[in-house]
Amino acid sequence: MIKFIRDDGLTLNITDYFKIISIEGLGTITQEIFTEKRAVGDGDIITGTRVSSRTVTITACNDYAGQIDTSRTKINNFFNPKNSFKMYVTYKENTVWCECIIDARDLPTNNIFAPQMFTLSVFCPNPYFKSYDDFGKDLSSVSPMMGFPLMISQEKGFVASVRNFSQHVFVPNNGAIDTYCTVVIEPDENVSGLKIYKNEKEYILFTVELKAYETVKIDFEHRTIEIEGKRVPNCIDRNSTFFTIDKGGCTISYNANENITTTHIYLYYNQLYTGV
């Protein structure tokens, strides 16, 4: 199944209107290799590599005479080159997605009595497919402690919940490569000196006090930090790094100078794949 979601929220499943004949580009990966000539000796020296963007081309057909006009209208209206899209691909019960724009679209009308053909090429600037699930880890989860029948000690009272203050949380990554994450911080009290580590080496250290009930968002891929939806520069230590979640997984830990047990920290990420 191939499903597209447009940037205005509209959705279209191609298989609702067309039978897919072929798809090219889902399993293709191209790597650029940069080299320089050896001053002495044979061959070249590899100076760097990068994975190129990908183009996916879908060829489909509608041979149901009563649906051709409807399908043409849907395709023409939906695949507007002025919009951007998310393309979801389901193969053998596994769904992945990527961001794309229209590269080319062909909906020929040369023979009104023949089945309606449709060709769509989309350009994906990021060559990697993302997992359908946006994996999330609550680094400071709350466990319920109430049960029934409910028995309350007059001397000790009762514990309704307890915060699992686990300073070391393993974050798995079963994708093909390292992936970036997004961290959301929601303090119930002012917190200073908040530091988030990866494998006790790389870290993000805040040099400003985070205010109670203000949401902080760290986008590790785009290297930005927002507080209450506004980008805030110069709020972290100069040795901080916007680290990745290693292929296979890594350990994330955190601490602060004060009020760490009343600070909620959530980590979100997608696993990345080189093909479908």
Provide the terminal-to-terminal Cα distance of the chain, rounded to the nearest Å: 12
Please tell me which of 76-90, 110-124, 161-175 the model is most confident about, judged by mean pLDDT: 76-90
Sheet harboring 135-138: ordered strands across? 135-138, 263-269, 181-187, 216-219, 224-227, 230-231
DSSP state of 133: S
Amino acid (one-letter) located at 220:
F
Note the pLDDT of residue 137.
72
DSSP string, 160-197: SEEE---SEEEE---SSS-B-EEEEEEESS-B-S-EEE
Could you report the per-residue pLDDT of 210-219, keeping only the tens digit for each? Answer: 999 999 999 9
Note the pLDDT of residue 238.
93
Note the pLDDT of residue 112.
67
Q: Are strands 161-163 and 142-144 parallel, antiparallel or unpaired?
A: antiparallel
Q: Which residue has the tokens 């990866």?
A: 198
Would you say residue 22 has pLDDT above 70? Answer: yes
Note the pLDDT of residue 93.
84
Note the pLDDT of residue 164.
46
- Is it true that 2-127 and 135-273 share their CATH fold? no
Backbone angles phi, psi at 66, to 5 degrees: -75, -10
Would you say residue 21 has pLDDT above 80? Answer: yes
Would you say residue 81 has pLDDT above 80? Answer: yes
Using an 8 Å Cβ cutoff, are 53 and 124 in contact? yes
CATH class of 135-273: mainly beta
Amino acid (one-letter) located at 197:
Y
Please state, in angstroms and rounded to a whole number, the distance separating the CA atoms of residues 259 and 188. 8
Using an 8 Å Cβ cutoff, are 17 and 72 in contact? no
CATH 3.40.190.150 fits 2-127, yes or no: no
Residue 61 CB-density burial (10 A; 0-12 exposed, 13-18 middle, 19+ buried): middle
For CA atoms 200, 201, 203, 205, the dihedral sign is: positive
- Give the three-state DSSP class for 100: strand
- Structural domain boundaries in the chain: 2-127, 135-273
Note the pLDDT of residue 124.
96
CA angle at 154 for the pair 152 and 159, rounded to the nearest 5°: 45
Please state, in angstroms and rounded to a whole number, the distance separating the CA atoms of residues 117 and 100. 22
Note the pLDDT of residue 55.
95
Listed residue (212, 192, 205, 191) closest to 253, CA to CA: 205
pTM of the model: 0.79
Please state, in angstroms and rounded to a whole number, the distance separating the CA atoms of residues 265 and 276. 32
Q: How much is the mean pLDDT over the chain?
A: 86
Using an 8 Å Cβ cutoff, are 58 and 75 in contact? no
